[in-house]
A and B are shown apart, each in its own frame.
Chain A
Amino acid sequence: MASGVRPRVKVPKSASAGDVITIKCLISHPMESGQRKDSDGNVIPQSIINNFTCSFNGETVVNIEMKAAISTNPYFEFDAMVPEAGEFEFVWDDDDGSTYTDTKAISIG
């Protein structure tokens, strides 16, 4: 597991039913591309987050397959529909098998 990985997600606290809201999420991760070399000239092996999924009450909002060309500290912004109160779940999958998760609740009002 890459050290110091911390997800940060921004979701409005409440919305009207049927609203489309914008979600921004950032996770701190080095996203080692596998192209860089260390001071001895050895290639540093690739170590990235390869998948990100956001779901609302179990239904997918967006699923993003990531390659090495996504920047360090991957940032995503996208739109989600909010038909009812519920919970957004965010899951990041690392190349090394670990997963990072975050959840945010949203209310109607």
Chain B
Amino acid sequence: MELTRRETLAVGGAALLVAGLPMPAMASAVDDQINAFTGGADVAEGGIDLIAPEIAENGNTVPIEVSADGAASILVLAAGNPTPGVGTFNFGPMAGESRAKTRIRLAGTQDVVAVAKMADGSFARTSKNVKVTIGGCGG
């Protein structure tokens, strides 16, 4: 089958459109989770540290560390996963520092987002892009 120039452009355009569609849907899922966590309050950039590798060879176990001075709880989201939720760390009265390390799954190259709820009720967020060589969602 031979494609004319016009048909090729039409097919290519349609493919681009389809590829572009899921992104806004996922972004809103992340925003929804952040809103549920903050109750719609303003979220400032910075004041929270997220340590993650720039390149993760295996998306099944990506080591991350979150820390924020004086945080009561920290929410971690993986923006590009089928379900963005990763976990929430709630620090109790016996916590030495508001810091935790764990290992997470990432389906592909994406942003990892961390939002901290400070003891005074304010919120801080940060995000880090992690390149994933082999995705960690099976399938």
A contacts, CB < 8 Å to B: 20-22, 33, 35-37, 55-56, 59-72, 74-81
Given the complex of chains A and B, what is the CA–CA distance between A55 and B137 in angstroms?
A: 32
Known: A69-B86, A70-B86, A79-B96. A37 touches B104 (CB 8 A): no
Q: Is the CB of A62 within 8 A of B100?
A: yes
Q: Is the CB of B95 within 8 A of A79?
A: yes
Given the complex of chains A and B, what is the CA–CA distance between A66 and B88 in angstroms?
A: 7
Contact of B105 among A33, A75, A79 (CB under 8 A): A33
Given the complex of chains A and B, what is the CA–CA distance between A77 and B51 in angstroms?
A: 14
Contact of A64 among B78, B81, B100 (CB under 8 A): B100
Say how far B103's CB is from chain A's closest CB, in angstroms.
Answer: 4
Contact of A35 among B84, B94, B101, B137 (CB under 8 A): B137
B contacts, CB < 8 Å to A: 60-62, 78, 81-97, 99-106, 136-139
Known: A35-B82, A76-B102. A71 touches B61 (CB 8 A): yes
Between B60, B94, B102, the greatest number of chain A beta carbons within 10 A of the residue's beta carbon is seen for B94
Given the complex of chains A and B, what is the CA–CA distance between A63 and B100 in angstroms?
A: 11
Contact of B78 among A22, A56, A63, A69 (CB under 8 A): A69
Q: Is the CB of A36 within 8 A of B139?
A: yes
Q: Mind listing 6 A-B residue pairs with CB under 8 Å? A: A61-B94, A63-B92, A65-B87, A69-B106, A70-B87, A71-B60
